[in-house]
Amino acid sequence: MKRTLIKELTTTINEEGQQIYGWVHNIRDKGKIAFLEVRDRTSPIQVVIDNPEGKTLDIKKYDIVSFTGTPTTSGVKSGIPGVEFQATDHQVLTSPKEDYPLPISTKAQNNPDQEFNHRVLSVRNPKNNALFKIQADIAKHFSEYMRSEGFTQIFSPKIVPQIAEGGANMFKIDYFGRDAFLAQSPQLYKQIMVGSGLERVFEIGPVFRAEKHNTSRHINEYISLDMEMGFIDSYTELMDLEESMMQYILGKINEEHGDEIQQYFKTSINVPKETPRLALNEGIDIIKSKYGYKNREEGDIDPKAERLLTKYAQEEHGSDFIFITNYPTKKRPFYTMPTPGNPEITEGFDLIYRGLEITTGGQRIHDYEQLLSNLRIFGLTDKGLEKYLDAFKYGMPPHGGMGIGLERTTAKALGLDNIKYASLFPRDVKRLEP
Protein backbone atom coordinates (compact mmCIF):
# COMPACT_ATOMS: atom_id res chain seq x y z
CA MET A 1 0.00 0.00 0.00
CA LYS A 2 1.33 3.44 -0.92
CA ARG A 3 2.27 5.66 1.99
CA THR A 4 0.57 9.04 2.42
CA LEU A 5 2.51 11.74 4.20
CA ILE A 6 0.61 13.27 7.09
CA LYS A 7 0.64 16.77 5.62
CA GLU A 8 -1.00 15.42 2.45
CA LEU A 9 -4.00 14.01 4.34
CA THR A 10 -5.85 17.31 3.93
CA THR A 11 -6.27 16.41 0.24
CA THR A 12 -7.65 12.90 0.92
CA ILE A 13 -10.42 13.61 3.44
CA ASN A 14 -12.84 10.65 3.80
CA GLU A 15 -10.78 8.48 1.43
CA GLU A 16 -10.53 5.04 3.05
CA GLY A 17 -7.45 2.84 3.06
CA GLN A 18 -4.84 5.57 3.56
CA GLN A 19 -1.59 4.47 5.17
CA ILE A 20 0.62 6.72 7.32
CA TYR A 21 3.87 6.04 9.18
CA GLY A 22 5.39 7.88 12.10
CA TRP A 23 6.58 8.14 15.69
CA VAL A 24 4.05 8.10 18.50
CA HIS A 25 4.79 11.15 20.64
CA ASN A 26 1.87 10.97 23.05
CA ILE A 27 -0.99 8.64 24.01
CA ARG A 28 -4.29 9.31 25.78
CA ASP A 29 -5.90 5.89 26.30
CA LYS A 30 -9.53 6.25 27.43
CA GLY A 31 -10.21 2.51 27.45
CA LYS A 32 -12.68 2.15 24.60
CA ILE A 33 -11.03 4.89 22.56
CA ALA A 34 -7.42 6.11 22.33
CA PHE A 35 -6.01 9.37 21.00
CA LEU A 36 -2.42 9.34 19.75
CA GLU A 37 -0.17 12.16 18.61
CA VAL A 38 1.75 10.77 15.64
CA ARG A 39 4.43 12.59 13.67
CA ASP A 40 6.25 12.04 10.43
CA ARG A 41 8.72 14.38 8.75
CA THR A 42 5.93 16.65 7.49
CA SER A 43 3.52 17.17 10.40
CA PRO A 44 1.89 15.81 13.53
CA ILE A 45 -1.70 14.54 13.52
CA GLN A 46 -4.16 13.09 16.02
CA VAL A 47 -4.82 9.42 15.35
CA VAL A 48 -7.98 7.90 16.83
CA ILE A 49 -8.21 4.17 17.61
CA ASP A 50 -11.65 2.79 18.52
CA ASN A 51 -11.39 -0.06 21.03
CA PRO A 52 -14.98 -1.01 21.98
CA GLU A 53 -13.86 -4.15 23.83
CA GLY A 54 -11.40 -2.17 25.97
CA LYS A 55 -8.41 -4.35 25.09
CA THR A 56 -4.98 -3.27 26.27
CA LEU A 57 -3.44 -1.04 23.63
CA ASP A 58 -0.33 -2.63 22.16
CA ILE A 59 1.24 0.71 21.25
CA LYS A 60 3.59 2.57 23.59
CA LYS A 61 4.91 6.10 23.56
CA TYR A 62 7.79 6.56 21.05
CA ASP A 63 6.90 3.39 19.09
CA ILE A 64 7.31 3.63 15.33
CA VAL A 65 3.99 2.55 13.82
CA SER A 66 2.13 2.30 10.53
CA PHE A 67 -1.60 3.10 10.56
CA THR A 68 -4.25 2.29 7.99
CA GLY A 69 -7.48 4.24 7.98
CA THR A 70 -9.35 7.35 6.92
CA PRO A 71 -8.62 11.07 7.43
CA THR A 72 -11.74 12.88 8.59
CA THR A 73 -12.73 16.37 9.60
CA SER A 74 -13.08 17.05 13.32
CA GLY A 75 -12.86 19.81 15.87
CA VAL A 76 -9.33 18.87 16.89
CA LYS A 77 -7.00 21.90 17.24
CA SER A 78 -3.66 20.09 17.53
CA GLY A 79 -1.62 18.44 14.79
CA ILE A 80 -3.37 19.41 11.58
CA PRO A 81 -6.24 21.56 12.95
CA GLY A 82 -9.62 20.28 11.86
CA VAL A 83 -8.30 16.91 10.66
CA GLU A 84 -7.76 13.62 12.46
CA PHE A 85 -6.99 10.10 11.31
CA GLN A 86 -9.43 7.30 12.13
CA ALA A 87 -7.27 4.18 12.28
CA THR A 88 -8.81 0.84 11.31
CA ASP A 89 -5.58 -1.13 11.56
CA HIS A 90 -2.00 -0.61 12.72
CA GLN A 91 1.35 -2.34 12.92
CA VAL A 92 4.13 -1.59 15.39
CA LEU A 93 7.31 -1.51 13.32
CA THR A 94 9.82 -0.81 16.12
CA SER A 95 9.70 -0.24 19.86
CA PRO A 96 12.38 1.37 22.06
CA LYS A 97 14.41 -1.21 23.99
CA GLU A 98 14.69 1.04 27.04
CA ASP A 99 13.24 4.25 28.41
CA TYR A 100 14.22 7.47 26.68
CA PRO A 101 16.98 9.35 28.55
CA LEU A 102 15.26 12.71 27.90
CA PRO A 103 11.72 13.89 27.22
CA ILE A 104 10.74 14.70 23.63
CA SER A 105 8.68 17.78 24.30
CA THR A 106 8.79 21.45 23.36
CA LYS A 107 8.18 22.23 27.05
CA ALA A 108 11.14 20.18 28.28
CA GLN A 109 14.09 22.07 29.73
CA ASN A 110 16.94 19.75 28.81
CA ASN A 111 20.47 20.83 29.62
CA PRO A 112 23.01 21.07 26.76
CA ASP A 113 24.75 17.79 27.65
CA GLN A 114 21.41 15.95 27.48
CA GLU A 115 20.65 17.57 24.14
CA PHE A 116 24.02 16.78 22.57
CA ASN A 117 24.70 13.34 24.12
CA HIS A 118 21.42 12.06 22.68
CA ARG A 119 21.24 14.18 19.55
CA VAL A 120 19.17 11.80 17.43
CA LEU A 121 16.50 11.79 20.13
CA SER A 122 16.67 15.51 20.87
CA VAL A 123 16.14 16.34 17.18
CA ARG A 124 12.83 14.44 17.39
CA ASN A 125 11.66 17.32 19.57
CA PRO A 126 9.37 19.31 17.23
CA LYS A 127 11.22 22.51 18.13
CA ASN A 128 14.62 21.08 17.18
CA ASN A 129 13.14 19.42 14.13
CA ALA A 130 11.87 22.80 12.97
CA LEU A 131 15.22 24.43 13.80
CA PHE A 132 17.24 22.24 11.46
CA LYS A 133 14.69 22.46 8.65
CA ILE A 134 14.86 26.25 8.94
CA GLN A 135 18.65 26.10 8.93
CA ALA A 136 18.60 23.92 5.81
CA ASP A 137 16.41 26.49 4.12
CA ILE A 138 18.75 29.35 5.09
CA ALA A 139 21.51 27.48 3.24
CA LYS A 140 19.16 26.70 0.34
CA HIS A 141 18.11 30.32 -0.09
CA PHE A 142 21.73 31.48 0.14
CA SER A 143 22.47 29.12 -2.74
CA GLU A 144 19.43 30.34 -4.70
CA TYR A 145 20.46 33.96 -4.30
CA MET A 146 24.06 33.31 -5.31
CA ARG A 147 22.98 31.44 -8.43
CA SER A 148 20.54 34.21 -9.34
CA GLU A 149 23.48 36.64 -9.28
CA GLY A 150 25.62 34.54 -11.61
CA PHE A 151 27.74 32.69 -9.02
CA THR A 152 29.02 29.14 -9.55
CA GLN A 153 29.12 26.74 -6.61
CA ILE A 154 32.55 25.25 -5.90
CA PHE A 155 33.81 22.56 -3.54
CA SER A 156 37.28 23.31 -2.22
CA PRO A 157 39.50 20.85 -0.29
CA LYS A 158 39.37 20.73 3.50
CA ILE A 159 42.85 19.21 3.86
CA VAL A 160 45.26 21.97 2.93
CA PRO A 161 49.02 22.59 2.94
CA GLN A 162 48.84 26.24 4.02
CA ILE A 163 47.08 28.44 6.55
CA ALA A 164 44.59 30.85 5.02
CA GLU A 165 44.24 33.23 7.94
CA GLY A 166 47.72 32.95 9.41
CA GLY A 167 48.36 32.42 13.11
CA ALA A 168 48.18 29.26 15.17
CA ASN A 169 44.45 28.51 15.19
CA MET A 170 44.59 25.48 12.93
CA PHE A 171 44.32 21.72 13.38
CA LYS A 172 47.51 20.03 12.22
CA ILE A 173 47.26 16.53 10.76
CA ASP A 174 49.68 13.92 9.44
CA TYR A 175 49.14 13.61 5.69
CA PHE A 176 51.14 10.52 4.69
CA GLY A 177 54.19 11.79 6.54
CA ARG A 178 53.70 15.44 5.56
CA ASP A 179 52.29 18.27 7.64
CA ALA A 180 48.84 19.40 6.56
CA PHE A 181 45.97 21.30 8.15
CA LEU A 182 42.19 21.26 8.31
CA ALA A 183 40.99 24.29 6.36
CA GLN A 184 40.25 27.38 8.42
CA SER A 185 38.40 28.79 5.43
CA PRO A 186 38.02 28.24 1.68
CA GLN A 187 39.49 31.74 1.35
CA LEU A 188 42.55 31.08 -0.78
CA TYR A 189 40.73 28.67 -3.09
CA LYS A 190 37.73 30.88 -3.69
CA GLN A 191 40.05 33.81 -4.46
CA ILE A 192 42.02 31.94 -7.09
CA MET A 193 38.80 30.58 -8.61
CA VAL A 194 37.81 34.19 -9.32
CA GLY A 195 40.89 34.28 -11.55
CA SER A 196 40.04 30.95 -13.18
CA GLY A 197 37.41 32.52 -15.39
CA LEU A 198 34.51 31.49 -13.16
CA GLU A 199 34.68 35.06 -11.80
CA ARG A 200 31.90 34.65 -9.22
CA VAL A 201 31.96 31.64 -6.89
CA PHE A 202 30.31 30.47 -3.70
CA GLU A 203 30.65 27.52 -1.35
CA ILE A 204 28.76 25.96 1.55
CA GLY A 205 31.00 23.79 3.68
CA PRO A 206 32.70 23.09 7.01
CA VAL A 207 35.63 25.09 8.35
CA PHE A 208 37.80 24.32 11.35
CA ARG A 209 39.23 26.66 13.99
CA ALA A 210 41.55 25.35 16.73
CA GLU A 211 40.53 28.08 19.16
CA LYS A 212 40.27 27.16 22.85
CA HIS A 213 37.12 29.19 23.38
CA ASN A 214 34.39 27.69 25.52
CA THR A 215 31.62 30.23 25.03
CA SER A 216 28.09 30.46 23.66
CA ARG A 217 29.54 32.19 20.57
CA HIS A 218 32.17 29.69 19.42
CA ILE A 219 32.45 26.17 18.05
CA ASN A 220 35.51 24.56 16.50
CA GLU A 221 33.82 23.22 13.39
CA TYR A 222 31.08 25.21 11.71
CA ILE A 223 29.40 25.66 8.35
CA SER A 224 30.50 28.70 6.39
CA LEU A 225 28.51 30.31 3.59
CA ASP A 226 31.27 31.77 1.43
CA MET A 227 31.33 33.86 -1.72
CA GLU A 228 33.91 35.71 -3.80
CA MET A 229 33.33 37.96 -6.80
CA GLY A 230 35.58 39.57 -9.37
CA PHE A 231 35.65 42.96 -11.08
CA ILE A 232 34.52 45.04 -8.13
CA ASP A 233 35.26 48.75 -7.79
CA SER A 234 34.77 48.93 -4.03
CA TYR A 235 34.13 46.78 -1.00
CA THR A 236 30.82 48.62 -0.66
CA GLU A 237 29.53 46.47 -3.54
CA LEU A 238 29.94 43.47 -1.25
CA MET A 239 27.88 45.11 1.48
CA ASP A 240 25.23 46.02 -1.09
CA LEU A 241 25.12 42.37 -2.18
CA GLU A 242 24.88 41.02 1.37
CA GLU A 243 22.19 43.50 2.32
CA SER A 244 20.07 42.36 -0.63
CA MET A 245 20.91 38.72 0.04
CA MET A 246 19.85 38.86 3.69
CA GLN A 247 16.60 40.52 2.67
CA TYR A 248 15.97 37.64 0.28
CA ILE A 249 16.95 34.86 2.72
CA LEU A 250 15.06 36.20 5.72
CA GLY A 251 12.07 37.13 3.59
CA LYS A 252 11.84 33.54 2.38
CA ILE A 253 12.33 32.11 5.89
CA ASN A 254 9.63 34.41 7.22
CA GLU A 255 7.27 33.37 4.44
CA GLU A 256 7.90 29.64 4.83
CA HIS A 257 8.46 29.29 8.58
CA GLY A 258 7.07 32.41 10.25
CA ASP A 259 4.35 30.54 12.14
CA GLU A 260 6.78 27.87 13.39
CA ILE A 261 9.26 30.50 14.51
CA GLN A 262 6.57 32.27 16.49
CA GLN A 263 5.19 29.00 17.92
CA TYR A 264 8.44 27.31 18.93
CA PHE A 265 10.92 30.16 19.41
CA LYS A 266 8.61 32.98 20.52
CA THR A 267 10.27 35.45 18.17
CA SER A 268 9.82 36.79 14.67
CA ILE A 269 12.01 37.60 11.69
CA ASN A 270 12.62 41.28 11.09
CA VAL A 271 13.48 41.56 7.39
CA PRO A 272 15.78 44.57 7.10
CA LYS A 273 14.82 47.40 4.76
CA GLU A 274 18.09 49.23 5.38
CA THR A 275 21.31 48.18 7.08
CA PRO A 276 23.29 51.06 8.62
CA ARG A 277 27.05 51.27 8.04
CA LEU A 278 29.56 52.70 10.49
CA ALA A 279 33.33 52.92 10.46
CA LEU A 280 34.83 51.14 13.48
CA ASN A 281 35.91 54.37 15.17
CA GLU A 282 32.46 55.90 14.62
CA GLY A 283 30.80 52.89 16.18
CA ILE A 284 33.08 52.98 19.21
CA ASP A 285 32.38 56.71 19.69
CA ILE A 286 28.61 56.21 19.39
CA ILE A 287 28.36 53.50 22.06
CA LYS A 288 30.55 55.58 24.36
CA SER A 289 28.55 58.79 23.96
CA LYS A 290 25.08 57.20 23.68
CA TYR A 291 25.37 54.32 26.13
CA GLY A 292 28.37 55.27 28.28
CA TYR A 293 30.30 52.13 27.38
CA LYS A 294 34.01 52.03 26.57
CA ASN A 295 34.90 49.25 24.15
CA ARG A 296 37.56 46.93 25.60
CA GLU A 297 39.05 45.57 22.37
CA GLU A 298 41.79 47.59 20.69
CA GLY A 299 41.13 47.64 16.94
CA ASP A 300 38.08 45.42 17.29
CA ILE A 301 34.70 45.25 19.03
CA ASP A 302 34.04 43.29 22.19
CA PRO A 303 30.81 41.27 22.69
CA LYS A 304 29.03 43.94 24.74
CA ALA A 305 29.91 46.57 22.13
CA GLU A 306 28.36 44.32 19.45
CA ARG A 307 25.14 44.18 21.44
CA LEU A 308 25.10 47.95 21.95
CA LEU A 309 25.72 48.61 18.26
CA THR A 310 22.72 46.40 17.50
CA LYS A 311 20.69 48.40 20.00
CA TYR A 312 21.75 51.58 18.18
CA ALA A 313 20.79 50.08 14.79
CA GLN A 314 17.39 49.02 16.14
CA GLU A 315 16.66 52.37 17.80
CA GLU A 316 17.92 54.63 15.03
CA HIS A 317 17.28 52.57 11.89
CA GLY A 318 14.77 49.85 12.84
CA SER A 319 17.31 47.22 11.78
CA ASP A 320 18.62 44.10 13.52
CA PHE A 321 21.74 44.40 11.34
CA ILE A 322 24.66 46.81 11.25
CA PHE A 323 27.82 46.86 9.12
CA ILE A 324 31.08 47.89 10.80
CA THR A 325 33.85 48.92 8.38
CA ASN A 326 37.48 50.05 8.25
CA TYR A 327 39.13 47.69 10.71
CA PRO A 328 42.86 48.20 11.32
CA THR A 329 45.18 46.47 8.88
CA LYS A 330 46.95 44.62 11.70
CA LYS A 331 43.63 43.01 12.73
CA ARG A 332 42.85 41.60 9.28
CA PRO A 333 44.47 38.79 7.24
CA PHE A 334 47.42 39.52 4.94
CA TYR A 335 45.31 39.42 1.76
CA THR A 336 42.96 42.26 2.85
CA MET A 337 43.13 45.43 0.76
CA PRO A 338 44.51 48.45 2.66
CA THR A 339 42.56 51.67 2.20
CA PRO A 340 44.18 53.84 -0.53
CA GLY A 341 45.85 56.81 1.13
CA ASN A 342 45.46 55.28 4.59
CA PRO A 343 47.22 51.89 4.74
CA GLU A 344 46.62 51.59 8.49
CA ILE A 345 42.97 50.61 7.86
CA THR A 346 41.36 48.15 5.47
CA GLU A 347 38.61 47.94 2.88
CA GLY A 348 36.81 45.35 4.96
CA PHE A 349 33.71 44.94 7.09
CA ASP A 350 31.83 42.81 9.59
CA LEU A 351 28.07 42.34 9.72
CA ILE A 352 26.55 42.20 13.21
CA TYR A 353 23.13 40.57 13.57
CA ARG A 354 21.19 40.91 16.82
CA GLY A 355 24.34 41.47 18.84
CA LEU A 356 26.65 38.92 17.20
CA GLU A 357 29.09 39.18 14.31
CA ILE A 358 27.96 36.73 11.61
CA THR A 359 30.01 37.91 8.62
CA THR A 360 33.55 39.00 7.87
CA GLY A 361 34.30 40.30 4.39
CA GLY A 362 36.10 42.82 2.29
CA GLN A 363 38.11 43.62 -0.79
CA ARG A 364 41.27 41.58 -1.37
CA ILE A 365 44.67 42.57 -2.68
CA HIS A 366 44.76 41.54 -6.34
CA ASP A 367 48.17 42.91 -7.37
CA TYR A 368 50.95 40.31 -7.18
CA GLU A 369 53.71 42.65 -5.99
CA GLN A 370 51.47 44.24 -3.37
CA LEU A 371 50.48 40.82 -2.09
CA LEU A 372 54.13 39.77 -1.73
CA SER A 373 54.87 43.02 0.06
CA ASN A 374 51.98 42.49 2.45
CA LEU A 375 53.19 38.99 3.25
CA ARG A 376 56.49 40.47 4.39
CA ILE A 377 54.73 43.19 6.40
CA PHE A 378 52.82 40.46 8.24
CA GLY A 379 56.03 38.54 8.90
CA LEU A 380 55.00 35.69 6.60
CA THR A 381 56.78 33.93 3.76
CA ASP A 382 55.46 32.37 0.57
CA LYS A 383 56.16 28.85 1.88
CA GLY A 384 53.06 26.75 1.28
CA LEU A 385 51.45 29.61 -0.65
CA GLU A 386 53.24 29.17 -3.96
CA LYS A 387 50.23 27.85 -5.88
CA TYR A 388 48.00 30.54 -4.43
CA LEU A 389 50.46 33.26 -5.43
CA ASP A 390 50.84 31.82 -8.93
CA ALA A 391 47.26 32.82 -9.70
CA PHE A 392 48.16 36.44 -8.93
CA LYS A 393 51.41 36.24 -10.88
CA TYR A 394 49.40 35.46 -14.01
CA GLY A 395 46.84 38.23 -13.38
CA MET A 396 43.89 38.56 -11.03
CA PRO A 397 40.93 40.95 -11.36
CA PRO A 398 39.98 43.26 -8.49
CA HIS A 399 37.84 41.11 -6.21
CA GLY A 400 36.39 40.58 -2.76
CA GLY A 401 34.10 38.36 -0.79
CA MET A 402 32.79 37.27 2.56
CA GLY A 403 32.13 34.33 4.85
CA ILE A 404 28.89 33.95 6.83
CA GLY A 405 28.54 31.62 9.81
CA LEU A 406 25.47 29.44 9.29
CA GLU A 407 25.08 28.43 12.94
CA ARG A 408 25.43 32.03 14.14
CA THR A 409 22.91 33.26 11.59
CA THR A 410 20.45 30.51 12.54
CA ALA A 411 20.87 31.15 16.26
CA LYS A 412 20.27 34.88 15.94
CA ALA A 413 17.29 34.49 13.59
CA LEU A 414 15.62 32.13 16.08
CA GLY A 415 16.65 33.93 19.25
CA LEU A 416 18.85 31.10 20.60
CA ASP A 417 21.25 32.04 23.39
CA ASN A 418 23.93 29.54 22.35
CA ILE A 419 25.07 28.78 18.80
CA LYS A 420 25.79 25.17 19.80
CA TYR A 421 22.03 24.55 19.72
CA ALA A 422 22.16 25.47 16.01
CA SER A 423 24.83 22.84 15.33
CA LEU A 424 23.62 19.34 14.62
CA PHE A 425 26.68 17.71 16.24
CA PRO A 426 28.60 20.56 17.91
CA ARG A 427 32.36 20.40 18.27
CA ASP A 428 33.94 22.48 21.00
CA VAL A 429 36.99 22.17 23.27
CA LYS A 430 35.26 19.46 25.32
CA ARG A 431 33.04 17.65 22.84
CA LEU A 432 34.04 15.17 20.12
CA GLU A 433 30.98 12.89 20.29
CA PRO A 434 28.55 11.78 19.05
With bands split at pLDDT 50, 70 and 90, how would you rate the model's confidence at 381?
Answer: confident
C-alpha span between 206 and 183 (Å, rounded): 8
Q: What percent of the chain has pLDDT over 70?
A: 98
Beta-bridge partner residues of 392: none
Summarised one tens digit per residue, pLDDT across range 315-354 is 999 999 999 999 999 999 999 999 999 999 999 999 999 9
The Cα–Cα gap between 75 and 231 comes to 60
Torsion of CA 260, 406, 251, 187, to 10 degrees: -170
Phi, psi of 185 (to 5 degrees): -175, 155
Domains identified in the chain and CATH numbers: 6-94 (2.40.50.140), 120-157+200-205+212-422 (3.30.930.10)
For residue 157, the tally of other CB atoms under 10 A from its CB is 11
Band (pLDDT 50/70/90 cuts) for residue 167 is low
Distance between CA atoms of residues 187 and 208, nearest Å: 13
96-112 per-position pLDDT tens digit: 999 999 988 877 777 88
* Mean of the per-residue pLDDT values of the chain: 94
Structure confidence at residue 318 (pLDDT) = 95
CB 20 within 8 A of CB 45: yes
Q: Are 359 and 232 in contact (CB under 8 A)?
A: no
Amino acid at 428: D
Query: Pick from 96, 215, 113: which is nearest to 433 by CA?
Result: 113
Q: pTM of the predicted model, to two decimals? A: 0.94
pLDDT at residue 111, as a whole number = 84
